[in-house]
Structure 1
Amino acid sequence: MKLTILGGGGFRVPLVYGALLTDRGEGRVTEVVLHDLDDSRLYAVARVLAEQAATVPDAPTVTATTDLDEALRGADFIFSAIRVGGLEGRANDERVALAQGVLGQETVGAGGIAYGLRTVPVAVDIAQRVARLAPDAWVINFTNPAGLVTEAMSRHLGDRVIGICDSPVGLGRRIATVLGANPREAFIDYVGLNHLGWVRGLRVAGRDELPRLLADPDLLGSFEEGKLFGTDWLQSLGAIPNEYLHYYYFNRETVRAYSEVEKTRGAFLRDQQAQFYDEMKRPDTAALTAWDRTRAEREATYMAENRETAGAGERDADDLSGGYEKVALALMRAIARDERTTLILNVRNQGALSVLDADAVIEVPCLVDANGAHPVAVDPLPDHATGLVCAVKGVEREVLAAAGNGSRTTAVKAFALHPLVDSVNVARRLVEGYTEVHPGLAYLK
């Protein structure tokens, strides 16, 4: 089976390949094609993969190309993990937003809109090429903002594109573990949009164990989200929010913390990864060792400003092991082998969440089999959550419209309507600032 990874020179690709190396079952991936626009990054990642595979018999073969059409032809699965504008673009997203006193995080608020505006046209082009060159392939979308990009691609690929995120999986695992349950045996009642969802129940053998957690302040405060949000707030909500909702519930504190750091997250990663890729240009570098060292530092500093604001302390060791690759492998296995399973995924609504239309991409538990991912019908959200979901989905739709018609006015509307921007004048200045630093937004007229 052939797997093509778009953004194949990306830093996280070895996580995916490492997961593939553990798969010895029938119908496994035997060929991996890396595609990237940057030859040097492809070379660096290919070196890491070669060291990963050195002691593994019959490891999937790896080839690399800068020709997109060549990479797509004959693919059974396609992972889309591109970053339009690179980490320099992410750093600019943060800088421009913070200059206006609003959040520049890559998927949330102004930064997420800017990232979406320059990513959607590229993702649509990829979807159209897939439809033409590999119509039977399944596209698994890693590219952020994951829900928005998946929805853009679904307009051309239908249900053959599925978005994944490791945040809900990690959240469900933490809740199950603190309750003494096996995460693999628990059903997580999770619903929302990507990076905007809530766990409302965790059922083990038909019994919802979440009320027990919410009633015990000591237990509730013992894991990441309890430390991040505070036990009182979680008890008020009656649910456990995705960690990204910290940007909404504690927005002023987070913006202040981000404004005071020496380097934003994007600038830190830009410099850190530049050092890694420069190091990989030396033929004597131990590739896998260098990658492992860089990854450990990257994961340990994840959402550091949010945790500092909340006084949450350092991340637990169990939360430093990634997760995208595990979700992706489970999804591929379920489709390729008809190994039926339940996963939290980004898919078209199809009536699962009544407040949104059928084509809106949402993040919910899905039953997965050889025919793809099928969203499980979920109970309505409470009013406060419904309001956020509808507002942010409305913004996503304006981003898709602006990317489709090139309207600067529509782009301003997308920024202005976002709950974390809430000012037309700020929205106008954001569009001005972003078009100045991002060549990829030159299409906005």
Structure 2
Amino acid sequence: MKKQRLVIAGSGSTYTMGMMMSLIEEKDHFPLRELVFYDTDKERQERNAKATEILLKERYPELEAFSYTTDKEKAFQDADFVFVQIRTGGLAMRELDEQIPLKYGVVGQETCGPGGMAYGLRSIKDMIDLVNDIRRYSPEAWILNYTNPAAIVSIALKREFPKDNRLLNICDMPIAIMISYAQILNIDVWDIVPEYFGLNHFGWFTKILDKQGNDHTETLKNLILERGFRPEDKEIANDVSWQKTFEQARQLMIDLPEYLPNTYLQYYFYPDQMVEKEDPEHTRARKVIEGRQNRVHNLCDRIIKNNTAQGEEGLHVDIHGVFMIKAAESLAYNLEKRFILIVENNGIISNLPSEAMVEVPVILTKNGPKALSVGEIPTFYKGLIENQYAYEKLVVEGYFEKSYTKLLQALTLNRTVINVSTAKAILDDLIEANKDFWPELQK
């Protein structure tokens, strides 16, 4: 089994330590010869890297080399895989993404609504630059991109790199939801065979089968309605905000019972309720800063100070890491395993635009994803998806064309906004807040 040279781009992320535990968990199935951290933020990266160095010595002694750098050539030269998890503007800009829409009574969220547009417009440039850097030094590396908002980023990357078939956009939300399904059904999450369609953060599970072909869909629906629905992945299980999100997904099943929803649909179907529960002075970004970020930073500091990771209960495998690594395993060793990924439609959902970037089940082989046909979807979902895709496409066009009008059109289409005057007010405030990140727009 070939050992891989893996680069983590955006290694200063608070998700990196979970990724490291996942690499250790999966080392027999995805063995590494070299692991490299790359980030533009030297200080933020260094804390994770120094803690990781100690962790790897204790739990991955067979790893031949570990290093961290801000040098692109050192990082990307001869890479086999690059996992990307960057956040342009950091959590400080995420906080503004959430606060500005709330000022106008509109959903403030990092990937949905105006906040998602703001984040997407920041992400596009850095993602294009990063892919170009990787391709300069490793033309054949697999690039697995976690960077949000994946819906907007995937459209932009497909436009910029239309023939790059080794660039995949991935989101772990479907598998995080499936962990809860598995707990309810008392089966292993990797034994679940899902049927699913939609756009990223805008989709539905139509069936939940197992590898023996048994259909658990109706049983699962009934159990959720009877017993409730809660997050089970360790990273989010004890997070009050995520607990409320899963409760809201149950309510969506009550109101629209045909399919099992992605949890992010709450922002589009109950926007007024989502606004009411948010505190502009203590948004989700602030909770992450005070919660996960502080927790991870303190964890790393303790490991560095004690020169050991022994006894650290905060270290655990999480689905964010395991999902990415298992996808890489299937690509590297032609395992032909099934995952839900973002791919160009090309007839997969027959009554949606062929160029749309849809989120559907695929089989991952050494030649990339082979998408499974979904066929026609019902009118209600088709209408919703076409509207959402038009919004996403206009955001990308607005970026490349530097068009104020297209961004205004995008926000007006978005289900969380609707009102043109509100869209304009939010857009103008976002332009001011993002003047160091967005292109200069032409009216």
Q: TM-score, normalised by structure 2?
A: 0.86
2:282 matched to which residue of 1?
263
Q: In 2, Cα distance between the equivalents of 1:333 and 1:159?
A: 17
State the Cα deviation string for residues 224-258 of structure 1 (Å, max 9, x = none): 58733346844742211011111122211111111
1:325 Cα deviation after fit: 0.8
1:352 matched to which residue of 2?
348
What letter corresponds to residue 201 of structure 2 in structure 1? H
Which among 179, 182, 189 is matched to residue 183 of structure 1?
189
State the Cα deviation string for residues 136-183 of structure 1 (Å, max 9, x = none): 011101100012212322331533111222211122232233234443
Q: In 2, Cα distance between the equivalents of 1:264 and 1:280?
A: 25
2:238 matched to which residue of 1?
none
1:164 matched to which residue of 2?
170
Q: In 2, Cα distance between the equivalents of 1:84 and 1:437?
A: 13
Q: In 2, Cα distance between the equivalents of 1:5 and 1:131?
A: 15
- Contact 1:213–1:219 (CA<8 Å) still a contact in 2? no
Structure 2 residue 100 is matched with structure 1 residue 103: no
1:101 and 1:27, CA in 2 relative to 1: closer, same or farther beyond 3 A?
closer
State the Cα deviation string for residues 325-368 of structure 1 (Å, max 9, x = none): 11111111111111221011112223211233333221111101
2:267 matched to which residue of 1?
247
What letter corresponds to residue 267 of structure 1 in structure 2? R
Unaligned runs of 5+ in 1: 297-319
Structure 2 residue 40 is matched with structure 1 residue 33: no
Q: In 1, Cα distance between the equivalents of 2:311 and 2:368?
A: 33
2:382 matched to which residue of 1?
386
- Contact 1:91–1:270 (CA<8 Å) still a contact in 2? no
2:45 matched to which residue of 1?
42
Q: In 2, Cα distance between the equivalents of 1:291 and 1:430?
A: 48
2:441 matched to which residue of 1?
444
Q: In 2, Cα distance between the equivalents of 1:363 and 1:345?
A: 5
2:154 matched to which residue of 1?
150
1:135 and 1:245, CA in 2 relative to 1: closer, same or farther beyond 3 A?
same
- Contact 1:96–1:433 (CA<8 Å) still a contact in 2? yes
Q: In 2, Cα distance between the equivalents of 1:10 and 1:216?
A: 36
1:285 matched to which residue of 2?
305
- Contact 2:253–2:259 (CA<8 Å) still a contact in 1? no
Bigger mean CA offset, 30-39 vs 229-238: 229-238
Structure 2 residue 258 is matched with structure 1 residue 238: yes
2:125 matched to which residue of 1?
121
1:397 matched to which residue of 2?
393
What SS does structure 1 have at the residue aligned with 2:277?
A: helix
1:171 and 1:285, CA in 2 relative to 1: closer, same or farther beyond 3 A?
same
RMSD: 2.8
1:26 and 1:429, CA in 2 relative to 1: closer, same or farther beyond 3 A?
closer
State the Cα deviation string for residues 67-120 of structure 1 (Å, max 9, x = none): 234322211111111100111010011111111111121111111011001111
Which among 56, 70, 77 is matched to residue 73 of structure 1?
77
Q: In 2, Cα distance between the equivalents of 1:227 and 1:164?
A: 25
- Contact 1:34–1:63 (CA<8 Å) still a contact in 2? yes
1:282 and 1:113, CA in 2 relative to 1: closer, same or farther beyond 3 A?
same
1:330 and 1:276, CA in 2 relative to 1: closer, same or farther beyond 3 A?
closer
1:396 Cα deviation after fit: 1.0
- Contact 1:159–1:347 (CA<8 Å) still a contact in 2? no
What letter corresponds to residue 257 of structure 1 in structure 2? K
What SS does structure 1 have at the residue aligned with 2:14?
A: coil
Q: In 2, Cα distance between the equivalents of 1:384 and 1:21?
A: 44
1:271 Cα deviation after fit: 4.7
Equivalent residue pairs, number? 420
1:358 and 1:132, CA in 2 relative to 1: closer, same or farther beyond 3 A?
farther
Structure 2 residue 421 is matched with structure 1 residue 417: no
Q: In 1, Cα distance between the equivalents of 2:301 and 2:215?
A: 53
Q: In 2, Cα distance between the equivalents of 1:147 and 1:166?
A: 13
Q: TM-score, normalised by structure 1?
A: 0.86
